[in-house]
Structure formats: C-alpha cells, structure tokens
Amino acid sequence: MIAKTRLDPESLARFQAELDALRVEAFAQVGEADARHIRRMRGIVQGSAIAGRGLLMFGWGPVSWIAGVISLAAAKIMENMEIGHNVMHGQYDFMNDPSFNSATYEWDIVCDGDHWRNSHNVEHHDHTNVIGKDHDFGYGMLRLSGQQKWKPATLLQPFWYFLLCINFQWGVAVHDIKIGRFLKGRMKRAEFRERMRPFLRKAGRQLFKDYVLFPALAFWQWPRVLLGNLAANLIRNVWTNAIIFCGHFTENVQTYTRRKVEEETRGGWYLRQIQGSSNLEGGKLFHVLTGYLSHQIEHHLFPDLPAPHYPRIAPRVREICARYGVHYNSGGFWKQYTGCWRASSGTRCRRRRARRRPERDEQAGAPAPADFRLRGGVPGRLAAA
C-alpha cells in the first residue's frame, strides 16, 4: 500500500495553482468539436440500439441473437457512460441544447436522473472517499477499508459483490433512497415514500420497455427478445460495475476521515481527488466504452470538462503529480480489477486492519473559503470562474 502524500502549506498552494491553471487552459479549448463529438455519439448509440433490437426481433438462429445482444449492450453502455454520465455532469451545458441539458437529461437505466445527480454529483464528488460521507465507497454493501466497521456479513462479501455486479443498475438506482436510514428508524415513512416515488416511476418505465413492450412487438419471437434484453442489461451491469470499481476501489486508493477534511483547501480537495481515484490504460475504443471514466483521476479533478479532453490533459496531470511526489495510480484493466477483487473479497481489509496506525494529518492548509464546496460536482469557486 503506497503511503498517503502530505504537502506543506506552501507546496499545497503551488499544487493548487498549477491545477487551477490547467483547468483554465483545458476549458479554453472546449467548443464546437466537443458538440460534434457528443452528437456523433448519440447517433452511434441510436444506430447500435436499432440494429441490436432489429436483430433480436427479426433475426433467426444463435448468431444473429448474439450479434443483437452485443449491439444492444454496446448501445446501453455508451448511452449510460459516454452520454448520460457526462451530460449530467454539465459537460455539454455550453451547447445550450435542451437534449443535452444536465438538469433535465434522463438516461436509459432504472436510476432516476435527479436521484443520481444528488448521490453522485454532490455526495460522491464532494466527499470522495471520506468514510461515512461518500456513500459510493462500498455502496453500503462492501467493506473496502480498515476504517469501515467490520460486521459478520463481511464474511460473505464476495457474494455481496457478485450480486451488486450483476444488478449494478439497481444498486445505483436505490442509492439515493437511503433504505438503510429508513430501516434504522432515521427516516420518516413519509420521506421514504417521497424518495421511492421517482425510483418506482422510472424503474417501471424501464421494465415495461425492455420486458413487455419490445417482446410484445416481436410476437412469436418474444422469448428471444426478452432473453436478449435481459442479456444486454446484464452485460451493461457487469461492464459498468467493473469500470467504476477500477476507478475507485483499487489497492492504492486512499481514504479519509471526516475530521481530516474539515479545513480542507481547494488544493487539499485536488489532492484527495487524485489519491482517491485510479486510471485505466487502453486504446481509444476502450476509453469511449468507459465514457472516458478510464481517466477517473482527471474526471474527479474537472468533472464538468468534456470527457474527450481527459486523455489530452492526463500527461500534464501525471507530470504535476510526479513533481510533488503524489502517486498517480494508473494501470491496465486486469491489474486494477484484480486489486478491486482483493479489496471486495476482504483480503485487503484484513491486512490493513492488522497493521492499522493512528491517522496523521494528510495535508495542511488554511480553511477552505465558504464558496468552495461542490455545486453539482464542481468546486464552487471554479464554477464561478
């Protein structure tokens, strides 16, 4: 396990200034090319979905069924990761196109858009890897750090991970409902019903579309279409789970306590985002199929920057990290995923618990300004710049 980097106040201020400057430089290059990219991706997704559903409905034999499943799964993956996730971060708000509006976009998944905008943009990106504040860390099911409380259910963690993996869209969907709070008596029944309503409405539409409407349109081919839709959703769930876990829960990802981030500066926030994230290495097609979340470090630094810019600025971020002695966590898919599996199976937690030390201050610096906290995944002061 690589040690957590600590920077003195002067170094932290310089570190912050360099990343602020990189942000300004990157956003200066945002423009029409990015608009063309997202519109092109929408066309590819629509074409892939039509081809996939057409092969499932009108094809014959196993080859056309497999081709249809792959085509439909690819459409769902790209819509969720390359379009939905990035659009709802506000990456394409500069276009003033209602169909790519971050506040109203609704994606092809059972998770309600407004629920996700809160649980992900605000809770996760603001409190990245802060134990007890970032509810994405373990999704309320997995113990991934020695700072998390051990429970007997942890012994079954590989099984919990398997269930989360194959049902990942549902895990994301119920995240902002806070079912655990309700079961512990910390939420009133009226609030719980209010939180459940958007989820049930959205999940009902998705289930009807994939498992009633399209199978019914196929007439006697309905079993083929129903199973094809089920398989495509399963592939999407497994892929998105793997990519997101590889970006957040690898072995060298650092965690933080609430107390240690109380007086966090923007430089400290940058440092936490880098040390709490990890990248995946691969080719252009791989990056597109991950929605550029293969560059999770750059995404966490600048969540509202159009994602195709992440590979371009990644060498600059890595170089800045090297000069300040900050570990830049990057590796191939299988290396990172193996680390995730060790963490989710409990191996890493047991090892870290055995040698746990009292935590020291991770970083120094003056208290954060009042306007610093994130607004929709973007530091307040940066959003206003």
- Residue 303 φ/ψ, nearest 5 degrees: -65, -20
**Helix/strand/coil for 347:** helix
Q: Tens digits of per-residue pLDDT, 141-195?
A: 888 877 778 888 888 888 888 999 999 999 988 888 888 888 888 889 999 999 9
Point out which residues pair with 320 in neighbouring strands.
none
- State the DSSP H helix or E strand holding residue 374, giving kind and residue range, or none if neither: strand 374-375
Query: For residue 91, what pLDDT is reported?
Result: 97
Calpha distance 253→275 (Å, rounded): 6
Is the model's pLDDT at 83 over the cut of 80? yes
**DSSP 8-state code for residue 89:** T
Give the per-residue pLDDT at 356.
46
Surface-to-core class of residue 55, CB atoms within 10 Å of its CB (0-12 exposed, 13-18 middle, 19+ buried): buried
Give the pLDDT score at 362.
41
Q: Are strands 330-331 and 279-280 parallel, antiparallel or unpaired?
A: parallel
pLDDT in tens, 320-359: 999 999 999 999 999 999 888 776 665 545 544 444 444 4
pLDDT in the model for residue 348: 47
pLDDT of residue 377: 52
Task: Read off the pLDDT of residues 91-114 as tens digits, 9 standing for 90 and up.
Answer: 999 999 999 999 999 999 999 999
Non-local CB neighbours of 291 within 8 Å, separated by 6+ positions: 78, 80, 81, 82, 83, 85, 86, 307
Angle at the Cα of 171 from the Cα atoms of 286 and 114, rounded to 5 degrees: 90
Query: Is the per-residue pLDDT at 285 higher than 90?
Result: yes
**CA nearest neighbour of 230 among 365, 68, 78:** 68
Amino acid identity at 304: D
Residues in contact with 305: Cβ distance below 8 Å, sequence separation at least 6, in sequence order: 23, 26, 27, 30, 91, 298
Looking at 54-63, 148-157, 168-177, 306-315, which range is the least confident one? 148-157
Q: For residue range 184-231, what is the model confidence (pLDDT) as tens digits?
A: 888 899 999 999 999 999 999 999 999 999 999 999 999 999 999 999
Higher pLDDT, 139 or 191: 191
**pLDDT at residue 263 in the model:** 84
Residue 56 · residue 69 · CB < 8 Å: yes
CA-nearest of 210, 222, 288 to 45 is 288
Please give the pLDDT value at position 31: 94
The predicted model gives 124-133 an average pLDDT of 88
The pLDDT value recorded for residue 1 is 65
Quick check: 62 pLDDT over 60? Answer: yes
